[in-house]
Amino acid sequence: MSTLEGKVAVITGGSSGIGLATAKRFVREGAYVFITGRRQAELDKAKAEIGKNVTTVQGDVSNLGDLDRLYATVKAEKGIVDVVFANAGFIEHAQIFDLSEEHYDKTMDTDLKGVIFTVQKGLPLMTRGGSIIAVSSCLHSMGAAAHGTYSAAKAGLRALVRVWTQELKSKGIRANSLSPGATETPIIRGQFDSDEAADAAKKHFASLTPMGRLGRPEEIAAAAYFLASDESSFITGIDLPVDGGLAQV
């Protein structure tokens, strides 16, 4: 029997990329998943792909009212949460010379504030312990130009899981971060003005990665499954890099 059999998971940013791949893996391993995203059409498509044991809730993690609605739905349908996979993220390039307050606020609201309150608001439903997984990035430990705000937010997540490990240990809740490297997801295309520029960036990322390629969403999902399941029952407070060696050598 899978170690996620009968478990309930909340996955933010679950309509594409890493979030969708993780939702599929969790369901395959026996979990029921609640996935969120900002675009209803994408959520509907994801639900059809997942096929079973899934509820979609449209919303933006930076909006606390949307998070309240998410967990109200979870409480009404299942009454419990075992896994929180805080995955929703935003990335926009800006160097220190020209970054704006709008850029800063949008990045921090999604990548840091959104994760904090996704976790906080899920805790009352984690009555039988469980696993919190915050999706950070290999960039939390690298100095990549034009990624300052994003890297700061992701470094913040790494710090938070250390604190949460101490704060939540008495409740039987483990907290870890997961740090992907460059991964083949729609978020890469969203950072560039053209397909050609995105393709060039992918080639560049692959050249910097010791394994010589980008990661696949399913590879990140496998790591998420490990951290969510009892296979990692003696692991808490860590950051798990899944980056093909990008930030490791």
Say if residues 205 and 184 touch (Cβ distance below 8 Å): no
Distance CA 18, CA 223 (A): 11
Residue 104 bears catalytic tag? no
Say if residues 88 and 114 touch (Cβ distance below 8 Å): yes
φ/ψ of residue 16, rounded to 5: -160, 170
Q: Which of 32, 71, 104, 150 is catalytic?
A: 150
User: Edge-to-edge strand order for the sheet containing 173-180?
Assistant: 54-58, 32-37, 8-11, 83-86, 130-135, 173-180, 239-242
Say if residues 119 and 45 touch (Cβ distance below 8 Å): no
Q: Which residues are catalytic?
A: 150
